Amino acid sequence: MLNYFLKRLAALVPTVFFVTLIIFGLQQLLPGDAALILAGEEQDPEVIAYLQKKMHLDEPLPVRYAYWIGGVLQGDLGESLRIQEPVLGLIKDKLPVTLQLAGMAMVIALLVGIPAGIVSAVGKDTAWDYVANMVALWGLSTPNFWLGILLILLFSVSLGWLPASGYVSPFEDLWGNLAAMIMPAFVLGNGIAAVLMRHTRSAMLQVLSADYVRTARAKGLGERTVVLKHGLRNAMTPIITLGALEFGTLLSGAVLTEQVFSIPGFGKLIVDAVFNRDYAVIQGVVLFTSSVYILLNLMADMAYFLVNPRLRG
Amino acid sequence: MKKKLLLALALAASFAAQSQTLRIGLAEDPDVLDPTLARSFVGRIVFSALCDKLFDIDEKLNPVPQLATSFQWAADNKSMTIKLRSGVTFHDGEKFDANAVKFNIERHKSLAGSNRRGELAPVTTVDVIDEFTARINLSAPFSPLLTVLADRAGMMVSPKAAQANPTAFGSKPVCSGPFKFAERVAQDRIVLERFPNYWNKANIHFDKVIYLPIVDATVRLANLRSGQLDLIERVAPSDVASIKKDSKLSMSRITELGYQGITINTRKGDGSNPLAQDRRVREAFELSLDRAGIVQVAMDGEATAGNQWVPPTNQFYAKNVPIPKRDVARAKALLKEAGIPNPTFTLMTPTTSDGQRVAQVVQAMAKEAGFNVKIQSTEFATSLNLADKGQFDAYVLAWSGRADPDGNLFSFYGCKQPLNYSGECRPLWDDLLNRSRNTLDTSGRIKVFATLAAEAAQEIPIVYLYHRNWLWAHNKKLTGLRTIPDGLVRVQGVKM
Amino acid sequence: MAALISSAVISPVIEAREASPAQRAWRRLLRRRGAMLGLFFVVFFVLMAIFAPLIAPYDPIATSWSAVRKAPSWEYLFGTDEIGRDVLSRIIWGAQASLMAGLVSVSISMALGIPIGLLAAYLGGWTDSLISRFTDAMLAVPFLILAIALSAFLGPSLGNAMIAIGVSAMPVFIRLTRAQVMAVKVEDYIEAARAVGNPHWRIALRHILPNVLPPLIVQATLSIAAAIIAEASLSFLGLGQQPPAPSWGSMLNTAKNYMDNAPWMAVWPGLSIFLLVLSFNLLGDGLRDALDPRQK
């Protein structure tokens, strides 16, 4: 098992290298002279020249890449040229926000998706199946930003139950924080719930017809024990892997959800940075999130190993 | 004993009642909070509470004293002596005096990446006459000086703080405004706290001001409606009707200093842009447009039609060049004369909803005169690039406006100036622009602008469409909001 | 001896029994009501898109200053939008854009992803490692970020949005194809086909691909649903279909500013996107069940 772990760790290196190439390549794709938009309304030629120098725009691509990677390896992710704050600081500020949003979304997805998948699998082809399907699919079939706006209009403007947007730290005001995060987390978790439902359903279906379940049933164990104890535990393995994979989807969804609800997390940071050509921010944040994603996948693989005794040694 | 307790309770109650926070919703996240480096409109809204300036402007665009109490032009108009207010301190306790003024102007002119250099180009040096008197020396008479000093170039930061933190001053700005900097979370909030030693503290009725950038206008309004915000700026024109019906909200509006227009690339180039080939094509294009109609459909009536770089109500508006009425017949005739009866060109517009609406309306209107307009929606950053390189036919571009007409003119019409996307380069125009700067008296300037307006109306490098209304919506309990055409929110005098 | 093996294995595994697996799958699909509902709506919208020029009552880009933001009436069944265009006509014509966004993007993803995945699994070794690591890297970067950057690069337009979405969604197909091909390539009939001397391309196209197709079809259906949503999302950011041409995503984006005074502008595109995407999702789920060989 250690061997496997080391092999996987070694495979990380080329992956991360490719990630940096993709990120850097994407930046250069962004059309237009980055210095122009960062120079603001007045477009002062001296400011433009100053920014071009700061971003090394006069140097060839490989040199710029080297500057960036060199900095990263020393722990310096550069600074946002728009507001003159170090990228690492921005990441530190926004990490808890996005983490909380992703976490809450995941919880909602699990609470909705897994039971829906179980119900759908156990009651296959009955009315329960269709209902469960609908509940989960509904979230996947509406654009994030649209659902968000509808919820805001309903719960904030009409009913006045929840704040329309914004974020307040849970340490400052726990209830306020939860009130502000519940709608965006719901919008974000919806889509994932559907994916979880599908996988839970197919995993459960597979497992329920398997031999050891038939054995359990033959032994006279109650249906619920069969389903939950034996079925679910074995169905969990692909779900763990899925959870890690879906982190990427969460981040994608967070981009729009954060825009609509004005949540100051990574998603909003990245989108604004793209439109403002704030290269350092784009590069630094995407590198960070990609690395986390890759790490999560590695951990999920390890967990998979641990949970499924048949795969061990 | 009982009395004392009651008194204490009453005091405590009044104290609690006094602690008021003003929450303002902004349309964008401000950029760096350093007046020297700042590059956006929205940042100025925060500055108006954070950093006092030498002068401010009033509703009629006249300069009024703020950190400076009076000014005096020298006899040759090549310098201005300013008397400063005494007893003013910066947020860090440092004294504000003429040395601070000298430091700040020099900082504006010399700091790497400073965005104020262009504005202060005619300023050469600053002399300290005495503790509260400074003299600003110019290379030539410069009439816009007062309005320049009534904006970011006139903002004064604490020299001590600026020197202690030369590269990252913007993350912890220290100025002398009514509120001092408390906290900033990028894209989330900017929190300012009351500065107890503000020279005009009687006029400040809040303890805290929180700016919350919320980009989506619908969500911004939703926040105001649900009570999370007290005031929002740049209300969407389509929301005005429903705000009027809401008994808890009020609206304020004023015509802006800037404009929305279509910049035309007049460089003949490879001949593919019919608008560049013959001025009659440009005139025909202008005549095919119904400005009132555009205002109605694209802006829900929340704008004033215009044809110059200043609104018709501005004192410098050239009355000899009135807004042309729509005349499709004449437009068609002009096109026939020019030999291009069905010109085709591409109208570049940023992907903002305003720009797109205008482009679509213009496309439909111009079609009736025979124009075949293709709309090219371009992301803003890319469009700037294309405009800079002169790779466009026509460009829907708005300008936020400056208090002095020079701010709406010089960079746009001056030869090789940074915002001169149309590519016009005429010695006569440069001469007129310089004269408008060198002339100090208003009537003289009006004459110069009249000549320039007539010239521009002939060549039509920019088709000015309208001047938008600044729209603020706020809680009915909020009073004292002054509607000044620069679109900023001044906290002095506002109470709830 | 050789003749025995060759005749038994050269023809693809999908061979006729009393009813071919394809026909059995189709019958299973027919039984799932959700999938049938999905199929119905998909066909409905496809027909709407094809016959748009004939059934739309007005020109979708014809403006009318006097009819700005009119509520639904007999004259304008779905009402008009912010510059006086008929919403119903724009919905009908917009079906073309939204369907294309789904179909073309996924076609691009498949056209790029399947060959690459096939190559990786078939060739193995360094090629496989390289492709796999690169795919991992692509999956590590959030999909929407990739799509936004590509869209910005290519320029805001429906066509470029489709390319951007197509390229960004490619890794899923690479991974899926690779996994399926890895499983199939060790099967006996493949070994036999190779032993007989079939060239690689023949093995890949005639033997491998048909057997990995079912899960790819399922994924394609689900990806179409996601692609339609992605186009709407890109429109929200100003990068999708540009005015005045209609697409449900960009209609929704414009309409969100008029929720108060003209809610019909948002209701119809929102409902249309929802129905179309839900339909593809239902269809995809149904196909997965129908094509799953483990289920009766």
Nearest to A164 among B118, B228, B385 (CB): B228
pLDDT of residue C11: 44
Q: Which residues pair with B23 in a beta bridge?
A: B210
Q: Look at C199 and B205; give whichever has higher pLDDT.
A: B205
In a domain, A77, yes or no: no
Q: Which residues pair with B464 in a beta bridge?
A: B261
Reading the block at residue C128, the tokens are 């496989």
Structure-token match 């006459």, residue found: B129
In a domain, A13, yes or no: no
Q: How many Cα atoms sit within 13 Å of B304 on the Cβ side?
A: 19
Closest CA to C285 of C4, C53, C32, C21: C32
pLDDT of residue A235: 64
For residue B168, the chain A residues in CB contact (below 8 A) are 84
CA distance linking residue B60 with residue B313, whole number of Å:
10
Nearest to A248 among C130, C139, C294 (CB): C139
pLDDT of residue B253: 94
pLDDT digits (tens, 9 = 90+) for A197-235: 877 887 777 777 776 666 766 776 666 666 666 666 666
Is residue C99 less than 8 Å (CB to CB) from chain A?
no
Cβ contact (<8 Å) for C65 and B379? no
Contact partners of B by the rule of 3+ C-beta pairs under 8 A?
Answer: A, C
Is residue A145 less than 8 Å (CB to CB) from chain C?
yes
Under the banding of pLDDT at 50, 70 and 90, the label for residue C10 is: very low
In a domain, A93, yes or no: no
Contact partners of A by the rule of 3+ C-beta pairs under 8 A?
Answer: B, C
Nearest to B238 among C242, C244, C257 (CB): C257
**Minimal Cα–Cα distance from A132 to chain C, Å?**
12
Structural domain boundaries enclosing A126 = 100-277
Is residue A93 less than 8 Å (CB to CB) from chain B?
yes
**Minimal Cα–Cα distance from A224 to chain C, Å?**
22
Q: Which positions ≥6 away from B171 have C-beta within 8 Å? A: A84, A85, B33, B184
| Beta carbons of B262 and B394 less than 8 angstroms apart | yes
pLDDT of residue C2: 42
pLDDT of residue B433: 95
Cα radius of gyration rounded to whole Å, chain C = 23
Q: Of all residues in chain A, what percent carry a pLDDT higher than 70?
A: 87
Nearest to B385 among A31, A38, A45 (CB): A31
Cβ contact (<8 Å) for B238 and C261? yes
Q: Which of C29, C30, C36, C136 to mutate to test the interface with A (most CBs of A within 10 A)?
A: C136
Cβ contact (<8 Å) for C256 and B242? no
Cβ contact (<8 Å) for B357 and C82? yes
CA distance linking residue B390 with residue B381, whole number of Å:
15
In a domain, A70, yes or no: no
Closest CA to C247 of C258, C236, C257: C236
Closest CA to A258 of B427, B190, C237: C237
- Mean of all residue pLDDT scores within chain A: 81
Scanning B267-296 for CB atoms below 8 A from C yields: 293, 296
Under the banding of pLDDT at 50, 70 and 90, the label for residue C109 is: very high
Q: Look at A21 and C1; give whichever has higher pLDDT.
A: A21
For residue A261, give the chain B residue with the closest CA.
B219
CATH number at residue A114: 1.10.3720.10
CA distance linking residue A75 with residue A94, whole number of Å:
18
Distances from the Cα of B88 to the Cαs of B70, B72, B91, B197, B467, in angstroms? Answer: 15, 21, 10, 8, 37
In a domain, A291, yes or no: no
Residues A200, A203, A209: CA angle, nearest 5 degrees:
130
For residue C255, the chain A residues in CB contact (below 8 A) are none
Scanning A40-99 for CB atoms below 8 A from C yields: none
Cβ contact (<8 Å) for A286 and C273? no
pLDDT of residue A202: 76
Residues C26, C29, C30: CA angle, nearest 5 degrees:
90
Peptide bond into B213 cis (omega under 30): no
Amino acid residing at B276: A
Q: Which of A53, A157, A275 to mutate to test the interface with B (most CBs of B within 10 A)?
A: A157
Under the banding of pLDDT at 50, 70 and 90, the label for residue A241 is: low
Reading the block at residue B381, the tokens are 């950053």
For residue A149, the chain C residues in CB contact (below 8 A) are 256, 259
Q: Of all residues in chain A, what percent carry a pLDDT higher than 90?
A: 4
Reading the block at residue B119, the tokens are 């504005």
Interface confidence: ipTM more than 0.85 = no
Element (H, E) at B398: strand B394-399
In a domain, A206, yes or no: yes
Under the banding of pLDDT at 50, 70 and 90, the label for residue A305 is: low
Element (H, E) at A92: helix A87-122
In a domain, A9, yes or no: no
pLDDT mean over C142-164 = 84
Nearest to B223 among A33, A34, A164 (CB): A164
For residue B220, give the chain C residue with the closest CA.
C257
Helical ranges in B414-468 per DSSP H:
427-438, 442-459
Q: Which residues pair with B264 in a beta bridge?
A: B394
CA distance linking residue B322 with residue B280, whole number of Å:
18
pLDDT tens track, chain B, 496 positions: 566 665 555 555 555 455 799 999 999 999 999 999 999 999 999 999 999 999 999 999 999 999 999 999 999 999 999 999 999 999 999 999 999 999 999 999 999 889 999 899 999 999 999 999 999 999 999 999 999 999 999 999 999 999 998 888 999 999 999 999 999 988 889 999 999 999 998 999 999 999 999 988 888 998 898 888 999 999 999 899 889 999 999 999 999 999 999 999 999 888 889 999 999 999 999 999 999 999 998 898 999 999 999 999 999 999 999 999 999 999 999 999 999 999 999 999 988 888 888 999 999 999 999 999 999 888 888 888 899 999 999 999 999 999 999 999 999 999 999 999 999 999 999 999 999 999 999 999 999 999 999 999 999 999 999 999 999 999 999 999 999 999 999 999 998 8
- For residues C97, C98, C101, C103, the Cα torsion angle rounded to the nearest 10 degrees is -110
Scanning A196-235 for CB atoms below 8 A from C yields: 198, 202, 205-206, 209
| Beta carbons of B421 and B276 less than 8 angstroms apart | no
pLDDT of residue B3: 61
In a domain, A262, yes or no: yes
For residue A80, the chain B residues in CB contact (below 8 A) are 186
Closest CA to B114 of A33, A79, A48: A48
Is residue A126 less than 8 Å (CB to CB) from chain C?
no
Amino acid residing at B265: N
What's the length of chain B?
496
CA distance linking residue A133 with residue A119, whole number of Å:
9
Q: Look at B463 and A113; give whichever has higher pLDDT.
A: B463
Scanning C130-159 for CB atoms below 8 A from A yields: 130, 133-134, 136-146, 148-150, 152-153, 155
CA distance linking residue B396 with residue B383, whole number of Å:
10
Q: Which of A27, A30, A43 to mutate to test the interface with B (most CBs of B within 10 A)?
A: A43
Nearest to C282 among A15, A137, A153 (CB): A137
Is residue B245 less than 8 Å (CB to CB) from chain C?
no
Q: Look at A313 and B237; give whichever has higher pLDDT.
A: B237
What letter does residue B95 receive in the DSSP assignment? Answer: B
Structural domain total, chain A: 1
CA distance linking residue C259 with residue B465, whole number of Å:
27
Cβ contact (<8 Å) for C155 and A27? no
For residue A290, the chain C residues in CB contact (below 8 A) are 137, 140-141
Task: Quickly list DSSP for B43-86.
Answer: HHHHHHHH--BSEEE-TT--EEESSEEEEEE-TTSSEEEEEEPS
Is residue A154 less than 8 Å (CB to CB) from chain C?
no
Q: Which residues pair with B349 in a beta bridge?
A: B377
CB pairs under 8 A between A and B: 147
pLDDT of residue C6: 40
Amino acid residing at A155: F
Q: B61: how many CB neighbours lie within 10 A of its CB?
A: 20
Phi, psi of B101, rounded to the nearest 5 degrees: -60, -45
Structure-token match 């763990």, residue found: A240
pLDDT digits (tens, 9 = 90+) for A162-208: 887 778 778 878 888 888 899 999 998 888 888 888 778 877 777 77
CA distance linking residue B257 with residue A251, whole number of Å:
41
Nearest to A153 among C136, C145, C259 (CB): C259
For residue A40, the chain B residues in CB contact (below 8 A) are 31, 38-40, 115
